[in-house]
Amino acid sequence: MPRLELAALFEYSSSEGCHLCLEWSEMTKLLYGKPVADQVLNQVRARILSFVGQHYRPPRLTVVLVGEDPASIIYTRRKRDVALSLGMEQETMTLPANASPTLVQETIQSLNENPHIDGILIQRPLPKGFSEEDVLQWIDPAKDVDAFHPVHAGRLFLGLPAFRPCTPAGIMMLLDHYGINPAGRVATIVGRSSIVGKPMASLLLNANATVIQCHRQTKNLAQHTREAQILIVAAGHAGLIDESHVRQGSTVIDVGIHRTADGKIVGDVARDRIEGLVQYISPVPGGVGPMTIAFLMKNTMDAAELRMTQLSGS
Ligand SMILES: NC(=O)c1ccc[n+]([C@@H]2O[C@H](COP(=O)([O-])OP(=O)(O)OC[C@H]3O[C@@H](n4cnc5c(N)ncnc54)[C@H](OP(=O)(O)O)[C@@H]3O)[C@@H](O)[C@H]2O)c1
């Protein structure tokens, strides 16, 4: 039976009693992020060449790292390596773990005012004592390449052009690349953080999905996740989602990243328990992660071009 017909059959079949389940189970496909991220990075690389030709300097990204969280140090190095490999300038400003919020805010302010810097990012998590709501507002929106500032959040909510937060925007591109159109589909999101869950809901709603958003106070999580034709899991809880939470033939995007005691990287989804039930799943590692970093580079490039256009116009 041709693949599309099989997909259509599954879309409309109930979870019980479908004799095609076994056939389907052999077809779960992994949504790898790397090939999609490489396309984004290649476009950014080409844009950097043209930017340098025009402005005699590459775009410049500054990462602010407060403290010495080991995972943050690794993520920060990865961002630096990718930025440098593309031909961007990148620097990391490291502040001690006991730096006061005032010192960090003043540091960000000086970066906001520095005309040679195009993009600024504050590496999370920040040490205790910082208010996430305050920190979101410190970076000038024109340089906020994580796109967490209320200006970007508000514009995204209204469906207006804005920088898009890297992880949810990367997920939308992943879906698009693999031909998964959210329009008219039920999309359930587990998580409502400002950096993943909430912007994800806006992007899916803007793409005409019917969106269900779950959080810790949600009663009967599985009832809502089983409705999902597209399930996005960003709970920060390893293995939270298993076979009791998914709809047959659905698409599952696993945002979570966890390191197990034996050093393995796993997600929020127990993949081995849902493989065979769903049509698509993004692997961890190698699914959403590469998209996030690619989108960061894209946002930095957009910020640099936009700033230079505005400067030359003023
Ligand atoms: N792959 C990537 O590039 C990437 C990027 C960003 C984040 N991540 C990973 O994605 C995960 C989520 O990140 P985040 O920053 O959004 O986390 P977060 O700020 O801790 O938010 C977690 C969200 O999940 C909800 N939640 C937690 N446990 C739940 C449960 N048992 N049932 C229902 N909802 C539950 C929480 O609900 P409440 O609001 O009620 O507390 C909260 O809204 C983490 O593992 C993080 O490392 C990966």
pLDDT digits (tens, 9 = 90+) for 50-76: 999 999 999 999 999 999 999 899 999
- What is the structure's pLDDT at 6? 32
Q: Is 198 a catalytic residue?
A: no
Q: What is the DSSP string of 166-228?
A: HHHHHHHHHHHHTT---TTSEEEEE---TTTHHHHHHHHHHTT-EEEEE-TT-SSHHHHHTT-
Q: Which of 196, 219, 241 to mutate to test the pocket of ligand 1 (most atoms within 8 A of CB)?
A: 196
Please tell me the distance between residue 190's alpha carbon and the centre of ligand 1 in angstroms: 8
Q: Which of 255, 292, 296 to mutate to test the pocket of ligand 1 (most atoms within 8 A of CB)?
A: 255
Q: Is 34 a catalytic residue?
A: no
Q: Which of 126, 257, 266, 296 to mutate to test the pocket of ligand 1 (most atoms within 8 A of CB)?
A: 257
Q: Contact, 11 vs 229, CB < 8 A?
A: yes
Q: Tell whether the torsion through CA atoms of 47, 56, 78 and 164 is positive or negative.
A: negative
- What is the structure's pLDDT at 26? 57
* Strand-pair partners of 278: 275
Alpha helices in the chain (DSSP H): 3-12, 21-25, 34-55, 70-86, 101-113, 132-135, 150-158, 166-177, 197-206, 221-225, 271-274, 288-313
User: One of 90, 118, 123, 254 is an active-site residue; which one?
Assistant: 123
- What is the structure's pLDDT at 314? 60
User: One of 90, 118, 143, 146 is an active-site residue; which one?
Assistant: 146
Q: Name the residue at shortest CA distance from atom 22 of ligand 1.
A: 235
Please tell me the distance between residue 312's alpha carbon and the centre of ligand 1 in angstroms: 41
Integer Cα distance of 120 and 59 in angstroms: 11
- What is the structure's pLDDT at 312? 85
Q: Contact, 175 vs 189, CB < 8 A?
A: no
Q: What is the pLDDT along the chain (314 residues), one digit of tens a residue?
A: 333 333 333 332 333 333 333 344 458 999 999 999 999 999 999 999 999 999 999 999 999 999 999 989 999 999 999 999 999 999 999 999 999 999 999 999 999 999 999 999 999 999 999 998 899 999 999 999 999 999 999 999 999 999 999 999 999 999 999 999 999 999 999 999 999 999 999 999 999 999 999 999 999 999 999 999 999 999 999 999 999 999 999 999 999 999 999 999 999 999 999 999 999 999 999 999 999 999 999 999 999 999 999 888 76
Please tell me the distance between residue 44's alpha carbon and the centre of ligand 1 in angstroms: 29
Q: Is 254 a catalytic residue?
A: no
Integer Cα distance of 94 and 114 in angstroms: 17
Atom of ligand 1 nearest to the CA of 197: 16
Q: Name the residue at shortest CA distance from atom 23 of ligand 1.
A: 191
Q: Taking the model in full, what pTM does it have?
A: 0.91
- Between the CA of residue 271 and those of 219, 240, 282, what are the distances in Å? 23, 10, 9
Q: Show the ligand 1 pocket: residues with CB < 6 angstroms.
A: 167, 190-193, 195-197, 214-218, 221, 234-237, 240, 255-257, 288-289, 292
- What is the structure's pLDDT at 133? 86
Q: First CA to last CA across the chain, in angstroms?
A: 61
